[in-house]
């Protein structure tokens, strides 16, 4: 398996945090959304003036997923309409707006990012046999496993076609490498919660491969579409990668502290599936409580055990430590934007970074 190296420092190697539990929070952890994130992502997109462009991308996705085969059309439309806030498309659009912006040059790379994301989620849900995602019924649960497999494949094929329509052949490379890494990440589970260094190495690799590489590819594709220089493309890629790392870490934090009504799944869902995430890793390093080591030995663990582990992970600082690590990635992400002059697109990318660290779902 190819060894993907996250863009965390000039040498291109993985930077592991010290083997300790952070005890303080940065200024991000205020409990309230900062003013620049008011209205959530929709508010950020509105202030950046990209809502109309995202609407055009949404229409493009609906057109692409219409098939002569009725079940693919139905399942495809269901998947597109369950697609969330279109963050990856927005990153491509905003990156392009840092250069010489033309919607017709970025619409295909932006759509490709969302199609790859949708395909990976359909396949991920199928592998996990998850019945719901964010409160929405999954494709395999509504239809069947065969339909889900084919819909995921169909979306990957649509993404490939959109790459081919993109204005620069480098975009194909960005996305092809991202898809390869996503697949490798899905086949590289985190198998241990200790020792800390080994657990962190596994977790950071999987998180980068599963989530961050597509953020990176979308940003780089957008910057290429805007005619950016090599240095600008690299900077946007590093911004996207660090943003994606923080996004996934916060996802894992919310699994311990999130509101089920907002998340569409109960707290501790990862624990029930035997998934080892950063809060549990840090908590295991800080606590001798055998419950933290026992929970993953049950398949699935009983709800009372899950609830007890959640309380222990929070109490010993596992959630706080993971939050601090996400904040570190966000600080890095924002620093990568320093090479760009102030403007609405740059500000929107900064606002998205703040939103990611403060989001509740």
pLDDT of residue 140: 47
Task: Give the tens place of pLDDT for each residue, 247-281.
Answer: 999 999 999 997 765 555 667 888 988 899 999 99
State pLDDT tens for residues 40-92: 999 999 999 999 999 999 999 988 887 655 666 666 666 666 656 899 999 99
What's the full length of the chain, in residues?
361
Architecture of the 45-358 domain: Orthogonal Bundle (1.10)
Summarised one tens digit per residue, pLDDT across range 204-232 is 999 999 999 999 999 999 999 999 999 99
Q: Tens of pLDDT along 85-142?
A: 899 999 999 999 999 999 999 999 999 999 999 888 876 655 554 544 555 655 544 4
Q: Where are the domains of the chain?
A: 45-358
Residue 335: φ, ψ to 5°: -65, -30
Tell me the C-alpha distance between 94 and 106, whole Å.
10
Q: According to DSSP H, which parts of the chain are helical?
A: 40-48, 51-64, 70-81, 87-97, 103-128, 139-142, 145-164, 170-186, 196-207, 213-225, 230-257, 260-263, 269-272, 278-286, 291-294, 303-315, 318-335, 344-358
pLDDT: which is higher, 208 or 10: 208
Q: What is this structure's pTM? A: 0.86
CA distances, 316 to each of 284, 324, 328, 354, 358 (Å) = 9, 14, 20, 26, 21
- pLDDT for position 80: 65
172 to each of 184, 234, 237, 358, how far by Cα in Å?
A: 18, 16, 15, 33
* Backbone torsion region of residue 86, taken as left when φ is above 0, otherwise alpha when ψ lies between -120 and 50, otherwise beta: left
Distances (CA, A) of 302 to 194, 271, 274, 292: 22, 10, 12, 14
């Amino acid at each position: 398996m190819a060894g993907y190296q996250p863009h965390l420092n000039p040498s291109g190697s993985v930077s592991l945090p010290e083997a300790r539990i952070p005890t303080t929070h940065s200024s991000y952890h205020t409990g309230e959304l900062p003013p620049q994130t008011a209205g959530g992502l929709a508010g950020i997109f509105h202030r950046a003036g990209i809502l109309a462009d995202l609407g055009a991308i949404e229409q493009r996705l609906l057109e692409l997923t219409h098939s002569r085969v009725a079940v693919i059309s139905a399942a495809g439309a269901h998947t597109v309409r369950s697609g969330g806030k279109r963050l990856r498309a927005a990153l491509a659009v905003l990156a392009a707006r840092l250069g010489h912006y033309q919607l017709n040059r970025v619409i295909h790379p932006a759509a490709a990012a969302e199609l790859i994301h949708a395909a990976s989620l359909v396949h991920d849900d199928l592998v996990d046999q998850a019945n719901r995602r964010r409160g929405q019924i999954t494709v395999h649960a509504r239809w069947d496993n065969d339909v889900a497999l084919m819909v995921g494949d169909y979306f990957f094929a649509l993404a490939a076609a959109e790459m081919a329509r993109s204005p620069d052949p480098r975009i194909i490379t960005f996305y092809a490498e991202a898809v390869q890494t996503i697949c490798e990440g899905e086949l590289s589970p985190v198998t241990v919660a200790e020792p800390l260094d080994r657990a962190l190495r596994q977790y950071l690799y999987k998180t980068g491969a599963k989530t961050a590489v597509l953020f990176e590819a979308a940003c780089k594709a957008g910057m290429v579409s805007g005619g950016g220089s090599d240095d600008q493309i690299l900077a946007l890629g590093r911004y996207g990668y660090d943003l994606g790392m923080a996004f996934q870490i916060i996802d894992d934090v919310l699994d311990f502290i999130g509101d089920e009504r907002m998340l569409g799944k109960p707290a501790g869902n990862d624990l029930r599936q035997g998934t080892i995430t950063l809060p549990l890793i840090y908590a295991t390093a800080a606590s001798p409580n055998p419950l933290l080591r026992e929970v993953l030995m049950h398949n699935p663990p009983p709800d009372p055990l899950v609830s007890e582990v959640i309380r222990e992970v929070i109490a010993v600082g596992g959630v706080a430590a993971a939050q601090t690590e996400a904040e570190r990635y966000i600080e890095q992400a924002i620093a990568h934007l320093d090479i760009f002059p102030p403007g609405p697109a740059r500000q929107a990318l900064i606002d998205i970074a703040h939103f990611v660290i403060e989001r509740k779902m």
